[in-house]
Structure 1
Amino acid sequence: MAKLYFRYSAMNAGKSTALLQVAHNYEEQGQQVCLYTAAIDHRYGQGKVTSRLGPQRDAAVFDAVFDFFKEAPQVSCVLVDEAQFLSADQVKQLHQLAHVRGVPVICYGLRSDFLGEPFTGSTYLLALSDTIEELKNICSCGKKATMNIRVDEQGKRTRSGEQIDIGGNERYHHVCGRCFYSN
Protein backbone atom coordinates (compact mmCIF):
# COMPACT_ATOMS: atom_id res chain seq x y z
CA MET A 1 0.00 0.00 0.00
CA ALA A 2 1.30 3.44 -0.94
CA LYS A 3 1.76 6.11 1.71
CA LEU A 4 2.26 9.83 2.11
CA TYR A 5 5.64 10.48 3.74
CA PHE A 6 6.90 13.71 5.29
CA ARG A 7 10.63 14.01 5.83
CA TYR A 8 11.45 17.25 7.61
CA SER A 9 14.41 18.99 9.18
CA ALA A 10 15.99 22.33 9.84
CA MET A 11 17.71 23.94 6.88
CA ASN A 12 20.86 22.45 5.41
CA ALA A 13 20.26 18.91 6.67
CA GLY A 14 20.30 17.26 3.24
CA LYS A 15 16.61 17.12 2.33
CA SER A 16 17.18 17.83 -1.36
CA THR A 17 20.13 15.43 -1.44
CA ALA A 18 17.95 12.70 0.08
CA LEU A 19 15.19 13.40 -2.47
CA LEU A 20 17.67 13.15 -5.35
CA GLN A 21 18.98 9.86 -3.95
CA VAL A 22 15.45 8.41 -3.74
CA ALA A 23 14.82 9.47 -7.36
CA HIS A 24 18.06 7.78 -8.41
CA ASN A 25 17.16 4.57 -6.56
CA TYR A 26 13.76 4.31 -8.29
CA GLU A 27 15.22 5.08 -11.70
CA GLU A 28 18.04 2.61 -11.26
CA GLN A 29 15.32 -0.04 -10.97
CA GLY A 30 13.73 1.13 -14.24
CA GLN A 31 10.88 3.00 -12.55
CA GLN A 32 9.70 6.52 -13.34
CA VAL A 33 9.45 9.29 -10.77
CA CYS A 34 8.08 12.81 -10.91
CA LEU A 35 9.91 15.55 -9.02
CA TYR A 36 8.19 18.76 -7.92
CA THR A 37 9.49 21.91 -6.31
CA ALA A 38 7.91 25.21 -5.31
CA ALA A 39 7.65 27.81 -8.07
CA ILE A 40 8.58 30.56 -5.60
CA ASP A 41 11.96 28.97 -4.80
CA HIS A 42 14.20 29.97 -7.68
CA ARG A 43 17.56 30.15 -5.85
CA TYR A 44 19.14 27.73 -8.33
CA GLY A 45 16.83 28.42 -11.28
CA GLN A 46 13.14 27.83 -11.88
CA GLY A 47 12.14 24.18 -11.57
CA LYS A 48 15.41 22.87 -10.12
CA VAL A 49 15.89 20.54 -7.18
CA THR A 50 19.42 21.34 -6.06
CA SER A 51 21.56 19.96 -3.28
CA ARG A 52 24.08 22.28 -1.66
CA LEU A 53 26.55 19.47 -2.39
CA GLY A 54 26.11 20.11 -6.12
CA PRO A 55 23.74 17.56 -7.71
CA GLN A 56 20.77 19.13 -9.46
CA ARG A 57 17.74 17.88 -11.43
CA ASP A 58 14.94 19.49 -13.34
CA ALA A 59 11.55 19.32 -11.67
CA ALA A 60 8.00 20.32 -12.38
CA VAL A 61 6.87 23.27 -10.29
CA PHE A 62 3.83 23.76 -8.13
CA ASP A 63 2.25 27.08 -7.28
CA ALA A 64 -0.73 27.93 -5.08
CA VAL A 65 -3.30 26.66 -7.61
CA PHE A 66 -1.58 23.48 -8.86
CA ASP A 67 -3.73 20.34 -8.40
CA PHE A 68 -1.55 17.29 -7.76
CA PHE A 69 -4.38 14.80 -7.96
CA LYS A 70 -5.42 16.01 -11.42
CA GLU A 71 -1.97 16.89 -12.83
CA ALA A 72 0.48 14.29 -11.50
CA PRO A 73 1.43 11.77 -14.22
CA GLN A 74 1.27 8.01 -13.72
CA VAL A 75 4.65 7.22 -12.16
CA SER A 76 6.10 4.89 -9.56
CA CYS A 77 6.72 7.68 -7.04
CA VAL A 78 6.05 11.40 -6.58
CA LEU A 79 8.78 13.42 -4.83
CA VAL A 80 8.11 16.94 -3.52
CA ASP A 81 10.87 19.34 -2.44
CA GLU A 82 10.16 22.53 -0.44
CA ALA A 83 6.93 20.92 0.78
CA GLN A 84 6.41 23.58 3.45
CA PHE A 85 5.07 25.78 0.61
CA LEU A 86 2.19 23.39 -0.17
CA SER A 87 -1.34 24.55 0.61
CA ALA A 88 -3.67 22.55 2.84
CA ASP A 89 -5.63 21.43 -0.24
CA GLN A 90 -2.44 20.31 -2.00
CA VAL A 91 -1.43 18.14 0.95
CA LYS A 92 -4.90 16.59 0.84
CA GLN A 93 -4.44 15.96 -2.91
CA LEU A 94 -1.11 14.23 -2.27
CA HIS A 95 -2.70 12.12 0.48
CA GLN A 96 -5.46 11.16 -1.96
CA LEU A 97 -2.89 10.38 -4.68
CA ALA A 98 -1.18 7.92 -2.36
CA HIS A 99 -4.34 6.25 -1.09
CA VAL A 100 -6.57 6.27 -4.17
CA ARG A 101 -4.05 5.82 -6.99
CA GLY A 102 -1.53 3.84 -4.96
CA VAL A 103 1.42 6.13 -5.73
CA PRO A 104 3.95 6.66 -2.93
CA VAL A 105 4.41 10.39 -2.27
CA ILE A 106 7.50 11.56 -0.40
CA CYS A 107 7.60 15.21 0.69
CA TYR A 108 10.68 17.02 2.00
CA GLY A 109 10.51 20.34 3.80
CA LEU A 110 10.84 22.54 6.84
CA ARG A 111 8.54 22.19 9.81
CA SER A 112 8.63 25.82 10.93
CA ASP A 113 9.80 29.27 9.88
CA PHE A 114 12.44 31.61 11.33
CA LEU A 115 10.10 32.60 14.18
CA GLY A 116 9.20 29.03 15.10
CA GLU A 117 5.77 29.34 13.45
CA PRO A 118 4.51 26.40 11.38
CA PHE A 119 4.15 26.56 7.63
CA THR A 120 0.70 25.59 6.34
CA GLY A 121 2.06 22.76 4.20
CA SER A 122 4.03 21.34 7.09
CA THR A 123 1.07 21.55 9.47
CA TYR A 124 -1.08 19.49 7.12
CA LEU A 125 1.74 17.09 6.31
CA LEU A 126 2.21 16.44 10.03
CA ALA A 127 -1.53 15.79 10.31
CA LEU A 128 -2.05 13.60 7.23
CA SER A 129 1.25 11.82 6.53
CA ASP A 130 1.31 8.09 7.13
CA THR A 131 5.01 8.22 7.97
CA ILE A 132 6.89 11.18 9.45
CA GLU A 133 10.70 11.18 9.59
CA GLU A 134 13.16 13.74 10.90
CA LEU A 135 16.43 14.28 9.06
CA LYS A 136 19.09 15.36 11.55
CA ASN A 137 21.35 18.38 11.49
CA ILE A 138 23.79 19.89 13.99
CA CYS A 139 23.78 23.37 15.54
CA SER A 140 27.09 25.25 15.80
CA CYS A 141 26.99 24.50 19.57
CA GLY A 142 26.98 20.75 18.87
CA LYS A 143 23.35 19.99 19.76
CA LYS A 144 20.73 18.75 17.29
CA ALA A 145 19.45 21.63 15.13
CA THR A 146 15.65 21.74 15.02
CA MET A 147 14.98 25.42 14.26
CA ASN A 148 15.95 28.07 11.72
CA ILE A 149 16.82 31.71 12.26
CA ARG A 150 16.95 34.47 9.66
CA VAL A 151 19.92 36.82 9.56
CA ASP A 152 20.48 40.16 7.85
CA GLU A 153 23.39 41.17 5.60
CA GLN A 154 25.64 41.67 8.66
CA GLY A 155 24.81 38.23 10.05
CA LYS A 156 22.58 39.60 12.83
CA ARG A 157 19.38 37.73 13.65
CA THR A 158 16.12 39.28 12.48
CA ARG A 159 12.91 38.72 14.39
CA SER A 160 10.39 40.26 12.03
CA GLY A 161 9.38 40.12 8.41
CA GLU A 162 7.34 38.06 6.01
CA GLN A 163 7.16 34.34 6.67
CA ILE A 164 8.56 33.56 3.24
CA ASP A 165 11.86 35.11 2.20
CA ILE A 166 13.73 32.74 -0.08
CA GLY A 167 17.41 32.36 0.75
CA GLY A 168 20.18 29.98 1.62
CA ASN A 169 23.08 29.93 4.06
CA GLU A 170 23.60 33.68 3.65
CA ARG A 171 20.06 34.32 4.94
CA TYR A 172 19.29 31.45 7.33
CA HIS A 173 21.10 29.43 9.99
CA HIS A 174 20.01 26.15 11.54
CA VAL A 175 20.13 26.09 15.35
CA CYS A 176 19.08 24.02 18.35
CA GLY A 177 16.19 25.10 20.57
CA ARG A 178 18.50 26.62 23.17
CA CYS A 179 20.35 28.78 20.61
CA PHE A 180 17.02 29.72 18.99
CA TYR A 181 15.88 31.31 22.27
CA SER A 182 19.24 32.75 23.33
CA ASN A 183 20.28 34.44 20.07
Structure 2
Amino acid sequence: MSELVAFLGLMDSGKSALALQMNHSLGGEGVLLTSGSRDGEGLISSRVGLRAPAFEVSADLDLYDLLAAITDGKRPQYVIADEVQFYTEKQVNHLADAVDGLDLSVYAFGLRTDFRGELFPGSKRLLELADRVENLPVKTLCWCGREATHTARVRDGVMIHTGDLVEVGDMDSYQNLCRRHHRAGLA
Protein backbone atom coordinates (compact mmCIF):
# COMPACT_ATOMS: atom_id res chain seq x y z
CA MET A 1 0.00 0.00 0.00
CA SER A 2 1.55 3.33 -1.04
CA GLU A 3 2.03 6.15 1.45
CA LEU A 4 3.64 9.55 1.96
CA VAL A 5 6.16 9.38 4.80
CA ALA A 6 7.91 12.44 6.28
CA PHE A 7 11.38 12.32 7.85
CA LEU A 8 12.06 15.83 9.18
CA GLY A 9 14.82 16.93 11.51
CA LEU A 10 17.82 19.16 12.10
CA MET A 11 21.10 19.54 10.31
CA ASP A 12 23.48 16.66 11.07
CA SER A 13 20.64 14.28 11.99
CA GLY A 14 21.42 11.93 9.11
CA LYS A 15 18.50 12.77 6.81
CA SER A 16 20.33 12.39 3.49
CA ALA A 17 22.31 9.39 4.71
CA LEU A 18 19.05 7.71 5.74
CA ALA A 19 17.47 8.59 2.38
CA LEU A 20 20.36 6.93 0.54
CA GLN A 21 20.36 3.94 2.89
CA MET A 22 16.62 3.52 2.34
CA ASN A 23 17.15 3.66 -1.43
CA HIS A 24 19.78 0.93 -1.15
CA SER A 25 17.74 -1.31 1.14
CA LEU A 26 14.64 -0.97 -1.05
CA GLY A 27 16.61 -2.26 -4.03
CA GLY A 28 17.79 0.94 -5.69
CA GLU A 29 14.88 0.96 -8.17
CA GLY A 30 13.28 4.21 -7.07
CA VAL A 31 13.22 7.78 -8.33
CA LEU A 32 15.51 10.11 -6.40
CA LEU A 33 14.72 13.83 -6.13
CA THR A 34 16.63 16.69 -4.50
CA SER A 35 16.70 20.47 -4.36
CA GLY A 36 19.57 22.74 -3.41
CA SER A 37 21.95 19.99 -2.34
CA ARG A 38 25.16 21.13 -0.65
CA ASP A 39 27.31 19.30 -3.23
CA GLY A 40 25.66 20.53 -6.42
CA GLU A 41 22.62 20.06 -8.59
CA GLY A 42 21.20 16.62 -9.19
CA LEU A 43 23.01 14.90 -6.34
CA ILE A 44 21.89 13.57 -2.97
CA SER A 45 24.90 13.58 -0.68
CA SER A 46 25.49 13.08 3.00
CA ARG A 47 28.21 14.40 5.26
CA VAL A 48 29.43 10.81 5.78
CA GLY A 49 30.30 10.52 2.09
CA LEU A 50 27.31 8.69 0.61
CA ARG A 51 25.98 10.09 -2.68
CA ALA A 52 23.70 9.26 -5.58
CA PRO A 53 22.45 11.08 -8.68
CA ALA A 54 18.94 12.54 -8.47
CA PHE A 55 16.51 14.70 -10.43
CA GLU A 56 17.03 18.35 -9.45
CA VAL A 57 13.76 19.90 -8.30
CA SER A 58 13.61 23.50 -9.49
CA ALA A 59 10.78 25.76 -8.29
CA ASP A 60 8.91 25.42 -11.58
CA LEU A 61 9.18 21.62 -11.99
CA ASP A 62 5.84 19.80 -12.00
CA LEU A 63 6.68 16.72 -9.93
CA TYR A 64 3.47 14.90 -10.74
CA ASP A 65 4.09 15.23 -14.48
CA LEU A 66 7.70 14.08 -14.02
CA LEU A 67 6.67 11.03 -11.99
CA ALA A 68 3.77 10.21 -14.32
CA ALA A 69 6.15 10.31 -17.31
CA ILE A 70 8.63 8.04 -15.54
CA THR A 71 5.93 5.57 -14.52
CA ASP A 72 4.60 5.50 -18.10
CA GLY A 73 7.53 3.28 -19.07
CA LYS A 74 9.27 1.30 -16.35
CA ARG A 75 7.45 1.62 -13.05
CA PRO A 76 9.67 2.74 -10.17
CA GLN A 77 9.09 1.06 -6.85
CA TYR A 78 9.16 4.28 -4.77
CA VAL A 79 10.26 7.92 -4.63
CA ILE A 80 12.94 9.35 -2.35
CA ALA A 81 12.57 13.15 -2.03
CA ASP A 82 15.50 14.85 -0.28
CA GLU A 83 15.81 18.49 0.83
CA VAL A 84 12.00 18.70 0.75
CA GLN A 85 12.07 21.90 2.80
CA PHE A 86 13.04 23.68 -0.45
CA TYR A 87 10.10 22.25 -2.45
CA THR A 88 7.12 24.50 -3.02
CA GLU A 89 3.81 23.72 -1.37
CA LYS A 90 2.47 22.81 -4.80
CA GLN A 91 5.32 20.32 -5.31
CA VAL A 92 4.55 18.67 -1.97
CA ASN A 93 0.94 18.43 -3.16
CA HIS A 94 2.33 16.70 -6.28
CA LEU A 95 4.11 14.15 -4.07
CA ALA A 96 0.82 13.37 -2.30
CA ASP A 97 -0.91 13.17 -5.69
CA ALA A 98 1.73 10.65 -6.83
CA VAL A 99 0.91 8.47 -3.81
CA ASP A 100 -2.82 8.67 -4.47
CA GLY A 101 -2.89 8.74 -8.28
CA LEU A 102 0.19 6.74 -9.30
CA ASP A 103 0.26 4.35 -6.33
CA LEU A 104 3.88 5.26 -5.49
CA SER A 105 5.26 5.35 -1.97
CA VAL A 106 7.07 8.62 -1.33
CA TYR A 107 9.70 8.99 1.40
CA ALA A 108 10.43 12.69 1.98
CA PHE A 109 13.44 13.97 3.92
CA GLY A 110 14.28 17.50 5.00
CA LEU A 111 14.68 20.17 7.63
CA ARG A 112 11.64 20.87 9.76
CA THR A 113 12.35 24.51 10.66
CA ASP A 114 14.52 27.36 9.42
CA PHE A 115 17.08 29.36 11.43
CA ARG A 116 14.26 31.52 12.85
CA GLY A 117 12.52 28.46 14.29
CA GLU A 118 9.68 28.61 11.74
CA LEU A 119 8.49 25.77 9.53
CA PHE A 120 9.77 25.82 5.97
CA PRO A 121 6.77 26.06 3.59
CA GLY A 122 7.60 22.67 2.01
CA SER A 123 8.02 21.02 5.41
CA LYS A 124 4.79 22.56 6.69
CA ARG A 125 2.83 21.21 3.73
CA LEU A 126 4.47 17.80 4.12
CA LEU A 127 3.42 17.65 7.78
CA GLU A 128 -0.13 18.54 6.75
CA LEU A 129 -0.33 15.79 4.11
CA ALA A 130 1.90 12.95 5.36
CA ASP A 131 0.40 9.57 6.12
CA ARG A 132 3.17 9.13 8.70
CA VAL A 133 5.85 11.28 10.30
CA GLU A 134 8.91 9.30 11.42
CA ASN A 135 11.49 10.34 13.97
CA LEU A 136 15.07 10.30 12.77
CA PRO A 137 17.28 7.85 14.68
CA VAL A 138 20.24 10.26 15.06
CA LYS A 139 19.74 12.90 17.75
CA THR A 140 21.80 16.08 17.78
CA LEU A 141 22.74 17.92 20.94
CA CYS A 142 22.82 21.54 22.02
CA TRP A 143 26.06 22.82 23.54
CA CYS A 144 24.40 22.42 26.98
CA GLY A 145 23.88 18.66 26.46
CA ARG A 146 20.10 18.76 25.92
CA GLU A 147 18.62 17.37 22.72
CA ALA A 148 18.71 20.02 20.00
CA THR A 149 15.37 21.04 18.53
CA HIS A 150 16.31 24.12 16.47
CA THR A 151 19.03 25.26 14.10
CA ALA A 152 20.43 28.76 14.60
CA ARG A 153 22.27 30.95 12.10
CA VAL A 154 25.38 32.39 13.72
CA ARG A 155 27.52 35.26 12.39
CA ASP A 156 30.65 36.40 14.23
CA GLY A 157 29.60 34.36 17.26
CA VAL A 158 26.17 36.03 17.48
CA MET A 159 22.86 34.36 16.66
CA ILE A 160 20.99 36.25 13.94
CA HIS A 161 17.26 36.19 13.22
CA THR A 162 17.03 38.07 9.92
CA GLY A 163 18.10 37.55 6.35
CA ASP A 164 17.13 35.45 3.40
CA LEU A 165 15.66 32.07 4.18
CA VAL A 166 18.42 30.44 2.14
CA GLU A 167 21.87 32.00 2.02
CA VAL A 168 24.67 30.51 -0.01
CA GLY A 169 28.24 31.14 1.03
CA ASP A 170 30.43 30.78 4.06
CA MET A 171 29.64 34.06 5.82
CA ASP A 172 27.27 32.30 8.22
CA SER A 173 27.48 29.12 10.17
CA TYR A 174 24.71 27.07 11.71
CA GLN A 175 24.47 25.54 15.15
CA ASN A 176 21.92 23.13 16.59
CA LEU A 177 20.41 24.33 19.87
CA CYS A 178 17.76 23.25 22.37
CA ARG A 179 14.58 25.33 22.42
CA ARG A 180 15.66 27.22 25.55
CA HIS A 181 18.94 28.43 24.05
CA HIS A 182 17.46 29.11 20.62
CA ARG A 183 14.73 31.32 22.10
CA ALA A 184 17.25 33.06 24.37
CA GLY A 185 19.63 33.64 21.45
CA LEU A 186 22.51 31.83 23.18
CA ALA A 187 24.52 30.09 20.48
Tell me, in whole angstroms, the C-alpha distance in 1 between the residues paired with 2:114 and 2:169: 12
TM-score by length of 1: 0.90
Q: Please list, as runs of the form range in 1=range in 2, the aligned pairs for 1:120-135 lying within 5 A after superposition.
A: 120-135=121-136
Is 1:63 the counterpart of 2:58 in the alignment?
yes
Question: Please, what is the CA RMSD of the aligned residues?
Answer: 1.6
Deviates more, 1:73-82 or 1:12-21: 73-82
Distance in 1 between residues matched to 2:175 and 2:122, nearest whole Å: 21
CA shift digits 1:29-85 (9 cap, x unpaired):
xx51111110xx252122111111111111110011111111022310100111011
For 2:168 and 2:131, how far apart are their aligned partners in 1?
29
Distance change (3 Å), C-alpha of 1:106 and 1:167: farther
Q: Secondary structure at the match of 1:35?
A: strand
Q: Which runs of 5+ in 2 are unaligned?
A: none
Q: What secondary structure, in the 3-state scheme, does the structure 2 residue paired with 1:46 have?
A: coil
Distance 1:104 1:149 in 2: 32
TM-score, normalising length from structure 2?
A: 0.88
| Map of 1:43 onto structure 2 | 38
Residue ranges of structure 1 left out of the alignment (5+ in a row) = none
Distance 1:99 1:42, change over 3 A: closer
Instruction: Report how many residues are paired.
Output: 176
Of 74-83 and 129-138, the range deviating more from structure 2: 129-138
Q: Residues 167 and 35 from structure 1, CA distance in 2 versus in 1: closer, same or farther, beyond 3 angstroms?
A: farther
Shift of 1:117: 1.5
User: Which secondary structure state, in structure 2, belongs to the residue aligned with residue 71 of structure 1?
Assistant: helix
Q: Deviations over 1:94-139 (max 9, x none)?
A: 0010112111001101111101121110110010000012223222
Moved over 3 A (4+): none
